[in-house]
C-alpha cells in the first residue's frame, strides 16, 4: 500500500475510533426494544424505497426470533441510531436470509461442514448518517465480532449490486452468487463471503476499530444462562485491543 493511501486509511481509522468512544451496543431482547428496532428499520428502509405497505416483513419477521439470531442496537449519546441482525449459521441451524434466498449455494456449503455469520437487516437513522457517515462501519463491527466469537469459516454479505465495491474493498469478499431478483425486496440481491481467517489476519490491522476484546464479544453473543443476566449496555473495546496488539 502506498504511503499516501496508508495515511488516508490511518486518518480515517483514527476518526472512526474517536466516534466509537461515544457508541454503546445493546442486545435487543425485550418487546419494547424490538418495537424501537422496527421503527428504525421503517425509517431507514423508507429512504431507500423498501418499506412499502406490502413489505411489513422487512420490519420484524420470524428470523428475528430464531435461536441462532442476535439482534443488536447501536446507540450514540443514548439514542438508537442503527441496528443489525446476525445469524450463526451451521448445518444444524440453517435459519438465515442467505440460506432462504440462496439455498442452492448455501445448503451444499453447509452440508460440507462450513459455518457462517449472516449479517442482515442493517438499518441506520438517515439523519444521523448525514452527520456521521462512518456509522455503517461501527454497525458492521457487530458482524466482525460475531465472526471471531463463533469461530466460523465465512462472514456473508447479502447485498445489492451497487454495494459490491464497498464490501470487496473493506472485507475482501468474493462472490458466491450473482444478482437475483427477490420479489419481497423488489430488488436484485447477490451473495458474497469473506474468509474469516483472512479477516482476522488483515482486517484489524487495516481498520483497528473493527477489533475487540474477548469480554466484549462474550457480552454480545454468549447465552444468557452463561452471563447470568443480559448486560444493559456493552462498551466497545477496540482501543484496548489495539493497545494490546502493539
How far CA 197 is from CA of 41, 106, 171, 200, 202, in Å, comes to: 31, 19, 12, 5, 9
C-alpha cell at 154: 465465512
Q: Which of 38-42, 217-221, 237-241 reaches the highest mean pLDDT?
A: 217-221
Up-side HSE of residue 41: CA atoms within 13 Å toward CB? 26
Residue 54, pLDDT score: 47
Question: Is the model's pLDDT at 213 over the cut of 80?
Answer: yes
User: What is the value of pTM for the model shown?
Assistant: 0.91
Encode pLDDT of 2-35 as tens digits: 444 445 557 889 999 999 999 999 999 888 899 9
> For the packed helices 135-149 and 214-221, what is the interaxial angle rounded to 10 degrees?
90
Residue 4, pLDDT score: 44
Mean pLDDT for 105-124 is 97
Encode pLDDT of 179-193 as tens digits: 999 887 778 999 999
Q: Under the phi-then-psi rule, with left for phi > 0, alpha for psi from -120 to 50, and beta for the rest, what region is 236?
A: beta
Amino acid at each position: 500500500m502506498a504511503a499516501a493511501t496508508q495515511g488516508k486509511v490511518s486518518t480515517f481509522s483514527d476518526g472512526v475510533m474517536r466516534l466509537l468512544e461515544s457508541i454503546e451496543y445493546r442486545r435487543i431482547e425485550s418487546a419494547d426494544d424490538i418495537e424501537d428496532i422496527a421503527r428504525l428499520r421503517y425509517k431507514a428502509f423508507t429512504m431507500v424505497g423498501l418499506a412499502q405497505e406490502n413489505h411489513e416483513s422487512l420490519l420484524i419477521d420470524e428470523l428475528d426470533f430464531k435461536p441462532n439470531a442476535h439482534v443488536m442496537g447501536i446507540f450514540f449519546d443514548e439514542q438508537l441510531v442503527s441496528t443489525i441482525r446476525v445469524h450463526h449459521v451451521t448445518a444444524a441451524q440453517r435459519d438465515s436470509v442467505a440460506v432462504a434466498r440462496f439455498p442452492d449455494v448455501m445448503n451444499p456449503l453447509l452440508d460440507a461442514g462450513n459455518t457462517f455469520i449472516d449479517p442482515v437487516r442493517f438499518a441506520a437513522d438517515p439523519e444521523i448518517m448525514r452527520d456521521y457517515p462512518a456509522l455503517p462501519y461501527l454497525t458492521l463491527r457487530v458482524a466482525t465480532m460475531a465472526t471471531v466469537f463463533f469461530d466460523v469459516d465465512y462472514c456473508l454479505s447479502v447485498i445489492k449490486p451497487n454495494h459490491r465495491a464497498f464490501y470487496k474493498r473493506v472485507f475482501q469478499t468474493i462472490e458466491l452468487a450473482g444478482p437475483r431478483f427477490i420479489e419481497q425486496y423488489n430488488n436484485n440481491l447477490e451473495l458474497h463471503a469473506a474468509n474469516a481467517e483472512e479477516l482476522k489476519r488483515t482486517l484489524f490491522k487495516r481498520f483497528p476499530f473493527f477489533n475487540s476484546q474477548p469480554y466484549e464479544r462474550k457480552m454480545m453473543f454468549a447465552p444468557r444462562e452463561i452471563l447470568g443476566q443480559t448486560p444493559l449496555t456493552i462498551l466497545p473495546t477496540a482501543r484496548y485491543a489495539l493497545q494490546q496488539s502493539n
